[in-house]
Chain A
Amino acid sequence: MIGAVLTGMVVILALWGAIKTPYDPMAMDGAAKFSGISLRHPMGCDQFGRDIFSRVIVGVRETMLISASVVLIGTFFGTIIGTITGYFGGWLDEIIMRLNDAVLAFPSVLLALVIIGIFNSGKYQLILALGIAFIPSFARIVRGEVLKIRNLDYIQSVKLYGASDFRIILVHILPNLKTVLMSSVLIGFNNAVLAEAGMSYLGMGVQPPNPSLGRMLSEAQAFIFTSPLTAIFPGIIIVIMILGFSLLGDRVGKKS
């Protein structure tokens, strides 16, 4: 319940950002530099006099879009790989899963750094890099579930009817993965939010002057003692976002 409320808040914030922001998040105002909380600037202004509230709204949207794309890539390819290896087994399973283990052995942020090192930094490169880094964990989860399902009696029955492997996977296995996928997507989304913030903080993701939550934290670092507001609000939003999705993920996990 709390999870849903927190998540709802963040989503509304992100949607709001898509339609209208109080100020242009990129507009600088020399007079308002480092100004504190006021009615005109509810979260204050940063070192260039840009409205932090507007930047947070746009940043949330940016972070969510990136995280969602990352999870989408991870889930899509992870499901394909996990289903094929889990269902067919044998040497194919052995080869792919050992490769998977090799990728899984690297911390995902490090892996993403390497990929960005190859492709250059930027928003789309970040999505691609984190997406690839996220595939193995999804593949592993899906494979485990498919292994369990494929030995159930109803799959055996369908085999006896003479159904093709393709049909068995598509019609009889994939729909039954949804509970497992649901909770791992929510947890994965969390990790993606953190990873995005971390990568942008390192300057590998969203490029200035565009805001993202991690980007804002990274820029605030230099002024954290003189003007803490620049770091506090993006930080709080990240915490709310992660907390919301964790609680939601826990709930979905418990229900199934």
Chain B
Amino acid sequence: MEEVLKVEGLCVEFKKDKKPFLAVNNVSFDVKEGEIMGLIGESGCGKSTLSRAILGIQKAGVSGSVNHKYKRPQMVFQDPAGSLNPSKKIGFILEEPIRVKGHFDKEERQRRVLDMMAKVDLDPALLDRYPHELSGGQRQRICIAAALMQEPRFLIADEPVSALDVTVQSQILELLKKLHQELNLSILFITHDIRVAYSLCDRVMVMKKGQIVEMGPRDEVYFNCKDPYTKSLMDAARTKYSS
């Protein structure tokens, strides 16, 4: 099995009140082909900064190495309201990734958009709507669809379900699972919700204050972790959901 992403010694430094501050501190990990890797951490621990550094959106203060096996990994963002252009129709938004690439003619692009709508279980009638006319769940499906239009092999999902209702959450997770299997997609799944990570991921890692404190197969981290911080997290999650 090969890695789609290999990160070694990644650091991201911010200047905070003129004092240097390491948002991401010497992080090394990999994501293997066809795997869903979970990244768990509380808000403010550097999860999103890490994902931005991996994608090259964050450039200032980044050191260490990031190697992608495939070109153009894509990202699904947390807030489905902010990740769709409010003045464009859904059809335009979905067509944009392949229009930008410029490989296909108009007809082929429309065919691919329709295909993708079927893949994410949405009614093609929605293509004529604006983002604000859609529900949160529908919008997140559109975000996922748009991220997959360029047929990436690796996807970063940054808290894709935390802005959604619990019932919608599980539908989106099911969808991600389905797409992962159908397209043999590798996913780096970022979340603060241990239960969500457990239901979806093959392996997980736990981040605290910019460092990875625990990494391993899902069950091992969940039931048998060594790090005290992780242990307290897991205990809390278990008592909360078993009662």
Contact = CB atoms under 8 A, between A and B. Distances in A.
Interface of A: 152-154, 156-163, 167, 172, 175-176, 178
Given A152-B83, A153-B78, A156-B75, 8 more contacts: A154-B83, A154-B85, A157-B74, A157-B75, A161-B72, A161-B97, A162-B100, A163-B100
A165 to B, nearest CB: 12
Nearest to A164: B100
B146 interface: yes
A31 to B, nearest CB: 61
B84 interface: yes
Given A152-B82, A162-B101, A157 B77 contact: yes
A160 B150 CA distance: 10
Contacts of A153: 77-79, 82-83
B57 interface: yes
Interface of B: 55, 57, 72-75, 77-79, 82-88, 96-97, 100-101, 143, 146-147, 150
Chain B at the A interface: mostly helix, strand, loop or mixed? loop
B88 A161 contact: no
Contacts, number: 54
Contacts of B146: 157
**What does DSSP make chain A's interface, helix, strand, loop or mixed?**
helix
B81 to A, nearest CB: 9
Contacts of A163: 96, 100
B82 A176 contact: no
A161 B96 contact: yes
B87 A176 contact: yes
A156 B100 CA distance: 14
A157 B79 CA distance: 12
B57 A159 contact: yes
B161 to A, nearest CB: 15
A160 B77 contact: no
